Structure 1
Amino acid sequence: MKKTLLAVCLSGATLISPLAMAEDSFPRLETIGVGEITAQPDMAVFTVAVEENRKTAQEAKQAADKAVTAFMDRLQKSGVKRADIESANIYLHPQYHSSNDAPPELVGYQASRQVTVTVRDLEKLNTYLDNALGDGINRIQNIELKVSDAEKYMEQARQAAIKDAQSKAKSLAQGFDTDIDGVWNIRYFDPMPRPVMGHMKMDAAMETQATYQDAEITFRDRVEVVFRLEK
């Protein structure tokens, strides 16, 4: 048993060539660069919904459709392109009343629909939201602030991460009385970046209205670099 194990170990050792071992044996320095860029949003995507309760399914559907149609018409008259408006299918749910001493009783139906809108002019966002509530929409489900040229900011964050890795490497090398002798390896994993929302200030003159233009979106990226050191 011992002889067999020794043979396996020796056989595995021959898989690593002396050249590969020599190539891998050199002084190195590993750093992680982090980049962060802050941008001001210039567009938004929001989702609103309507829920209507009526005695019959038809009445509930008609009420929900009426609110959605009125809101979509107002949006298009305000200059929003039809391609920037997405209306979901209607959903109908029976409503029951339950009691301890009787079986559930059907009392009506609830109809619900969602509308998702892309806003290209951020200054009009709050007006669109107010209009939605005026047209019978009764739920604001989500507001996502964005920038139209997100790829530009991600590239800036990436370049900042590269410079950060280089700066750290030079500083560390100098601290140990040596110099950088080129890059040996770069490890980068596309983070599928999602911008990080910053704070949103409130307009002092209008307590219930968020000044979305004062919000901040932070783009972040990182890179791992292995530098050669001079021998």
Structure 2
Amino acid sequence: MKLTTAIVLFFAPLITFANSSLPANRHISVQGTAEVLVEPDMAKILFKVNSVKNEPKAANNALENKVKLLIDGLNQFEITADDVVASNVKIEKTGMDYIETGDQALSEYSAIRTFEVTLNSIARVSDLTDFLLNQEVNAIQNIEFLSSKFEQLQAQAIQLAIEDAKIKANVLADSFNAKVGEVRTISSTKNSYDSGFSTAITKMHRSQQDNNSFPQIRSNDLHATISFKSSINVVFDLEITD
């Protein structure tokens, strides 16, 4: 899959660091921020498998058969043992020993296992979820989008936040006939990662809503995206020019 990257820089106003000691000489405090948006090339799927029977052993045996068919079927998606994390079997009693009349009722037992599977081809997410549902997987609990270039993209976001801080400092200093000097402090670096869906419609100007021309969102307008964000607080010396 072709990787599409979008760079978003946020120009925040000049800020003061409430929890840091600023130098006594002239200085300028800025926050550099950046966001890198990319299309995912991997996915992690969390799901639960269970079997319900009248006896704990029968429930466990039925679950084992279900899991065997599941694991065998994952091979068609080039999913290896390293791509699968599974919980231990958990057996829960789901029925009641006695009904309201006092007569004994049959108890039921549920054998449960949770799986986390990493799929290395984002294009096959729909095929995998269809396969899981055909295998009577009880619940697909979460699908997380991932990138195989996680470290590189996070480092890119950090570097862009650094450049953003430099740009802001120089623009503000120049506006007051000053010049940015040496770096005094670097603090509060924050990095975050999030995955979800985005649409180009959300980037349109709000004025389109005001003139009642804002278009309807369709399902095929939504695209899976990963967001890498970084922010950094920097204090520079400030030199006054003649």
Structure 1 counterpart SS, 2:50: strand
Given the two structures, how large is their TM-score scaled by the length of structure 1?
0.78
Identity value in percent: 26
SS at match of 2:36: strand
Tell me the distance in 2 between the aligned counterparts of 1:78 and 1:69: 15
Once the two structures are superposed, residues 124-166 of structure 1 have per-residue CA deviations (whole angstroms, 9 ceiling, x without a partner) of: 1211111112123221111111001111111111111111111
RMSD of aligned Cα (Å): 2.4
Moved more, 54-63 or 96-105: 96-105
Aligned to 1:222: 231
Distance (Å, rounded) in 2 between the aligned partners of 1:81 and 1:49: 19
Give matches, 1:74-93, under 5 Å.
Answer: 74-93=73-92
1:51-90 matches, cutoff 5 A: 51-90=50-89
Distance 1:80 1:58 in 2: 29
Aligned match of 1:4: none
Larger radius of gyration: 1
Equivalent-residue separation in structure 1 for 2:85 and 2:176 (angstroms): 60
Tell me what 2:118 maps to: 118
> 1:190 Cα deviation (Å)?
5.1
Would the aligned equivalents of 1:94 and 1:106 in 2 still touch at CA under 8 Å? no
Higher helix share: 1
Instruction: Give, in whole Å, the separation in 2 of the partners of 1:34 and 1:104.
Output: 66
Alignment of 1:96-175 (within 5 A): 96-97=95-96, 99-100=99-100, 102=102, 105=105, 107-175=107-175
Deviations 1:94-122 (A, max 9, x none): 12336555488552111111221110011
Post-superposition CA distance 1:180-207 (Å, at most 9, x none): 122111114354x333434377349xxx
* 8 Å Cα contact 1:29-1:169 kept in structure 2: yes
- Distance (whole Å) between structure 2 residues aligned to residue 104 and residue 34 of structure 1: 66
Unaligned runs of 5+ in 1: 1-22, 205-210
